[in-house]
Structure 1
Amino acid sequence: MKIILLGYMGSGKTTLGKELATSLNYNFLDLDDYISDKEHSSISHLFQSKGEIYFRRKETQYLNEIINSTEDVVIALGGGTPCYANNMESIISNPEIKSFYLKLSIPILAKRLFNERANRPLISHLNSEEELMEYIGKHLFERSPYYSQAHHIINANDKEQQAILEELLTHLI
């Protein structure tokens, strides 16, 4: 089985994905890390040197490579992955995949992301939490129709990591 975690940056996909994989004795893959390894380049460098269209094509190629493998794996998607190239359709139509949207409010996402924005090229130029909240709000407006197609929506607001992990596991066991 493949378990896919999706949601906006800062929603905890990687952190929870590693914990979930350990609990299930599955491997864990962060799709952005997988792409970086395969392309021998950072995601930000790929965007800068080859452009978003190239990146999105490779993202879809590698996502399909992973979901068509026979390996049991927990996969953390990039925040934009569900929104391009019928990626969400490939995820929800595959009976071997369970997908989870880790849903958080805009203020909580902004609070999480503001202090780490220097490590996130898409938001590094934003200088206030207000600007960041506006940016996140715009993206979530565009992305929510895709995210909401996940098999399960986990409201992660005001929940400890362990509680979210337990909720994920109840949908799998």
Structure 2
Amino acid sequence: MKIFLLGYMGSGKSFIGNQLAESLGCEFLDLDNEIEKQCDMKISEIFTRKGEVFFRKAERKMLEKLLKFDSPAVVALGGGTPCYGNNMEMIKAEEDVASVYLKLNIENLKGRLLKEKDSRPMISHLETEELLEEFIRKHLFERGFYYNQSDYIVDCNSKTSQEIIAEIKERLK
């Protein structure tokens, strides 16, 4: 089985995914990292030099590749991955894939993203906390439709990474 972690940027997909894979004794794959290796560029460089359309095409190809990965794995998706084209339909169509939405409220996301703003191309231009919150709120509204199609939704507010991992493992039994 492959476990695909979905959620907004800053929700902990990579962090939780890495720990979850280690606890399950399987491989951890981060979609964005795999795209960076394939393109030999950081995601921020891809956005700057090639544009979002190029990135979304590369993302789609990598998603297709990871859906066909033939070993058990935990896969951290990009925050927007489920929302483009029919990506979520493809994820849901795979029999050996469980999708898990790591859900955080706007306040927690804002707190996390404020610290990482400069390294995230989608939000690096937002100059105030209010603009960041508005951006997150708008995106969560738009993306909620896709995220909520996940097989499992885990509320990550006020939980430690160990509690989140335990809940995911319990739900997958």
TM-score, normalization: structure 1? 0.97
The one-letter code of the counterpart of 1:60 is R
2:8 alignment counterpart:
8
The answer (yes or no) to whether the contact 1:111–1:129 under 8 Å persists in 2 is: no
1:42 CA displacement: 1.1
Displacement of 1:172: 2.0
Whole-angstrom distance in 2 between the partners of 1:69 and 1:18: 17
The corresponding residue for 1:160 is 160
The answer to whether the Cα contact below 8 Å between 1:7 and 1:103 also exists between their aligned partners in 2 is yes
Please name the residue that 1:170 is paired with: 170
1:20 maps to: 20
Q: How does 1:36-55 map to 2 (within 5 A)?
A: 36-55=36-55
Q: Check whether the contact 2:47–2:121 (CA below 8 A) recurs between aligned residues.
A: no
What value does the CA root-mean-square deviation take over the aligned residues?
A: 0.9
1:106 Cα deviation (Å)?
0.5
2:143 matched to which residue of 1?
143
Q: Structure 1, unaligned stretches of length 5 or more?
A: none
Q: Deviations over 1:47-76 (max 9, x none)?
A: 122221111111011111111121211000
How many residues were matched structurally? Answer: 173
- Residue 125 (structure 1) shift: 2.0
Detail structure 1 runs of 4+ shifted over 3 Å in the superposition. Answer: none
Instruction: Quote the sequence identity (%).
Output: 49
The answer for the alignment partner of 1:132 in structure 2 is 132
Matched letter for residue 39 of structure 1:
C
Aligned to 2:51, the other structure's residue is in SS state helix
TM-score by length of 2: 0.97
Moved more, 118-127 or 6-15: 118-127
Secondary structure of 2:99's aligned partner: strand
Show the counterpart of 1:109. 109
1:56 alignment partner in structure 2 = 56
Match of residue 74 from structure 2 = 74
Q: Which moved more, 1:123-132 or 1:4-13?
A: 123-132
* Alpha-carbon separation, structure 1, partners of 2:89 and 2:116: 31
